[in-house]
A = this chain, B = another copy of it.
């Protein structure tokens, strides 16, 4: 079973920061493993205290389903998602801004951003994941 290393998670964070600076936004970015447990997190100076929680919640949702959290947002009316939000004590947020991470075709985790528009959050983590030589689809 493939796993995401801390070095890879840090490369994703670094790439996401280059992208967020280019976009002129201040984000938190959370990287979780395939089970939704944190590997790395960074909150840029000036980003709100809410952003670590939101970025983690989006990443957990994305890793749990292996889908982008934007795709999951469309399914919020299904009770399964509020169910997981309760199960995870609020740290499960199916809203745009997180993407799953695949390595050799296997789901190994997810990266979530928060602090910009949902699209900027997603763009930042996509730049990080792809810049680290990893994929957002299996």
Contacts and interface: CB of A to CB of B under 8 A. Distances in A.
Q: How many copies does the complex hold?
A: 4
Contacts of A43: 6, 37-40
A25 interface: no
A45 B5 contact: yes
A102 interface: no
A100 interface: no
Contact of A76 (B6, B7, B33, B79): B79
A22 interface: no
A97 to B, nearest CB: 9
B44 A42 contact: no
A66 B46 CA distance: 14
B91 A87 contact: yes
A86 B83 contact: no
Given A80-B95, A85-B82, A6 B53 contact: no
Interface string A42-61: 11110011101110010000
Interface of A: 1, 3, 5-7, 9-10, 28, 33, 35, 37-45, 48-50, 52-54, 57, 64-66, 73, 76-95
